[in-house]
Amino acid sequence: MNILSIDTSTKNFSLAVGIDGKVIRYRNVILGRLLSSSIIPTMNNILKKVDMNVQDIDGFAVGLGPGSFTGLRVGLATIKGLAFATNKPVIGVSSLDVLAMGVKRDGNICVVCDARRDLVYAALYTKKGMQLQREGDYVLSDIQSILKKVKVETILIGDGIKVFEKDIRQAKQNQFIILAEEKLWKPQAKHLLLLTEERFKKRTFDNVDTLVPLYLYPEDCQVRK
C-alpha cells in the first residue's frame, strides 16, 4: 500500500512516502507563508523522486495539530482535496501523537509544544515498541502544571522545551526528565506513516467530510502562526 503523509502543524512542512509500512522518502522544509502555494509542488516533487504521482497513492495520512491555525487548515484542505479527487481514504492523527511516536525508546513520554501566550499543547504517553498509549487528554496548559505530572522517569519532547528551558531546568521534577534529541522536536511525517500503518491495514479510515483540525484554543482566540 502506497501512503503519502504530511504534517503542517508548525512552520516545518513535513511529508513522507511509504510503501507497505516502510518509509521510502521523506522531507522536512520550512515554507512558512509559502505553504499554500508550495504544498502541492513539494508533494509532486517528492513523488517524482520515487517514480510516482498522486494517482499511485492508496491513502493519505495527515497531522491534525494542535498547532498553526493557518498551517493546519491548508494541510487538511489539501489532503481532503486529493482524497476527493482520487477517491482514496484518509487517516488523521494528532500531531502530538506523531511527536510521541518519534521517541525511539520505550517508557513514559511527555509532549510539550509551544502554544504561544506562555502556554503549551501537551499530552502524556507510554510507549512499548510500536505501541503508543496516550494517558489522559490533550491539554492547553502552563508548563508548570504539566511538569507537576511528571513523577517517574519521562522523556520530554517538543519545541516547548526550547521556549521553557529555564522552567524545565529549575523544576524539582527535573531529576526525572530526559530530553529527546532536538532534531525530533517537530512532528515528522515519517513517524506519522508508522503511526497509521495498522489503521490502514485494518481499513479504519476517517470520514473525510467530518475530519477537522485539533484546535485546543477557543475559536475566538486561535493562534495564527
- What 3 state SS string does 172-197 have? HHHHHEEECCHHHCCCCHHHHHHHHH
Element (H, E) at 135: strand 131-141
pLDDT at 219: 60
Q: Cell numbers 512552520 label which residue? A: 11
pLDDT in 10s for each residue of the chain, 225 residues: 999 999 999 999 999 999 998 999 999 999 988 999 999 999 999 999 999 999 999 999 999 999 999 999 999 999 999 999 999 999 999 999 999 999 999 999 999 999 999 999 999 999 999 999 999 999 999 999 999 999 999 999 999 999 999 999 998 888 999 999 999 999 999 999 999 999 999 999 999 999 999 999 876 444 444
pLDDT at 220: 42
Residue spans in the chain of domains classed CATH 3.30.420.40:
2-95+186-221, 96-184
Q: What is the pTM of this model?
A: 0.94
Region label for 20, one of left (φ > 0), alpha (ψ between -120 and 50) or beta (otherwise): left
- Please name every residue paired with 59 in a beta bridge, in sequence order, or none if there are none: 3
Q: Which CATH architecture has domain 96-184?
A: 2-Layer Sandwich (3.30)
- CATH 1.10.287.3610, domain 2-95+186-221, yes or no: no
Element (H, E) at 208: none
List phi, psi (to 5°) of 99: -60, -45
List phi, psi (to 5°) of 54: -60, -25
Please answer whether residues 191 and 12 qualify as being in contact, where contact means their C-beta atoms are separated by less than 8 angstroms. Answer: no
Give how far Cα 74 sits from Cα of 6, 118, 123, 220, Å. Answer: 11, 25, 24, 19
